[in-house]
């Protein structure tokens, strides 16, 4: 067993570049796990600065001074953020409040439907099973209400922190973009001189993640807008909230679309019942999902993220279990990082198997003839 471990170590960790890369990955992982909450403003600023760097580079390429380019890009980002907060968020907040008020009535109607199942299908479901399911639904509804109340109280309690973040994070983003080269040179001063393997991995990850984030943002906006127009055309209630959920669901491939289908179908059923309008809403929603998965995603991403669907789903579960919602949000970029590391990881060549002298002698004798 010790010999096997020693051979594995010699095959994978004899290169100093591998040790440097492993140290950087381990250090980044430990920092995020143990100091993620403390460094949340710094990490948020770092991510925002990374996302805005592409726009800054384009303006610099047009011979605009970097400090002016950084100012213009940051002001545009803040303007879009403020516009979203004051236009979309109030509408969604009002619809969430209305939905919470009507939720007990929806639950009561759902319970009435469940009580009819034992009469229609006595061989498949019993009264005890229905009452047990109704109890679970009531418990989940109560827990949801408690979470909404606790979230609102917690938000009010941490309002000062939010205000501080709204001031500190834009300032940190500005200085990170303005002094990007200075900060990177300072970090390189603590790094070994030869880090070509880590640079190779970062180059591949940077290219793919930048294209992925840009394409995912475009996909969210398109799916959100098309879904809102479709739901609004059918007169579906909570169109702003539901379309936003559908747009955000594209962040989590496969799983997001399946989960969001439940509230869309539930709202459509309680509004229209088993009617043609209900069927048309679900058909339109299915068409949107089909176009997104088979036309929009291949057009926007192509070979940007060349990951198997099983790997993507596994990444969602693994990183979501480690970091919660943020892990789910960054599951594909993190999976891309893991894929790039595995692809670039150097491996020592295994020694060829020892062969006896007889085959070699026979080959030599055949060659002389």
CA distance 142 to 148: 10
Q: Which residue has the tokens 């496969």?
A: 254
**pLDDT score, position 356:** 45
**pLDDT score, position 368:** 47
**pLDDT score, position 357:** 47
Residues of the chain short of pLDDT 50, as ranges, are 153, 156, 354-358, 360-364, 366-369
Which pLDDT tens digit goes with each residue over 236-291?
A: 888 888 898 898 888 777 777 888 888 888 888 888 888 888 899 999 999 998 88
Which one, of 317, 323, 303, lies nearest residue 253 by Cα? 317
Which pLDDT tens digit goes with each residue over 101-111?
A: 777 777 777 77
* Structural domain spans, the chain: 12-187, 195-347
Residue 185: C-alpha distances to residues 167, 180, 190, 240, 285 (Å): 27, 9, 9, 46, 50
**pLDDT score, position 112:** 72
CA distance 189 to 262: 52
**pLDDT score, position 367:** 46
Which pLDDT tens digit goes with each residue over 170-208?
A: 888 899 888 888 887 887 776 666 666 666 667 767 777
Which one, of 222, 228, 220, lies nearest residue 256 by Cα? 220
**pLDDT score, position 184:** 79
Residue 150: C-alpha distances to residues 33, 86, 90, 142, 274 (Å): 25, 23, 19, 12, 36
Look up the pTM and report it: 0.66
CB 53 within 8 A of CB 180: yes
% of residues, the chain, pLDDT over 90: 7
């Amino acid at each position: 067993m010790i010999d096997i471990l020693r051979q594995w170590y010699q095959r994978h960790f004899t290169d100093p570049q591998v040790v440097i890369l492993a140290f950087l990955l381990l250090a980044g992982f430990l920092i995020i796990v143990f100091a993620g909450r403390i460094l949340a403003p710094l990490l948020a600023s770092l991510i925002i600065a990374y996302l805005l760097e592409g726009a800054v580079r384009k303006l610099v390429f047009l011979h605009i001074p970097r400090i002016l380019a950084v100012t213009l890009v940051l002001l545009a980002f803040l303007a879009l953020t403020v516009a979203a907060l004051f236009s979309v968020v109030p509408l969604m907040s009002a619809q969430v409040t209305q939905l919470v008020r009507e939720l007990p009535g929806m639950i009561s109607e759902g319970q009435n439907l469940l009580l009819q199942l034992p009469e229609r299908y006595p061989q498949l479901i019993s009264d005890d099973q229905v009452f047990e399911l109704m109890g679970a639904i009531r418990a989940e509804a109560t827990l949801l209400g408690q979470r909404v109340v606790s979230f609102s109280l917690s938000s009010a309690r941490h309002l000062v922190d939010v205000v501080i973040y709204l001031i500190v994070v834009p300032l940190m983003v500005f200085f990170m973009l303005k002094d990007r080269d200075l900060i990177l040179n300072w970090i390189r001063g603590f790094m070994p001189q030869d880090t070509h393997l880590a640079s190779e991995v970062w180059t591949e990850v940077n290219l793919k993640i930048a294209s992925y984030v840009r394409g995912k943002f475009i996909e969210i906006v398109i799916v959100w807008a098309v879904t809102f127009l479709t739901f609004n055309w059918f007169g579906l209630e909570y169109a702003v909230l539901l379309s936003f959920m559908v747009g955000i669901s594209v962040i989590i491939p496969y799983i997001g679309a399946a989960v969001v289908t439940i509230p869309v179908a539930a709202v459509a059923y309680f509004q229209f019942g088993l009617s043609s309008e209900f069927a048309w809403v679900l058909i339109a929603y299915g068409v949107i999902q089909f176009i997104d998965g088979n036309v929009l995603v291949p057009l926007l991403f192509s070979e940007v993220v060349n990951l198997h669907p099983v790997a993507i789903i596994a990444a969602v579960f693994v990183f979501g279990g480690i970091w919660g919602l943020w892990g789910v949000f960054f599951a594909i970029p993190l999976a891309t990082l893991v894929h790039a590391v595995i692809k670039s990881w150097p491996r020592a060549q295994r020694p060829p198997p020892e062969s006896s002298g007889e085959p070699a002698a026979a080959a030599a004798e055949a060659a002389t003839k």
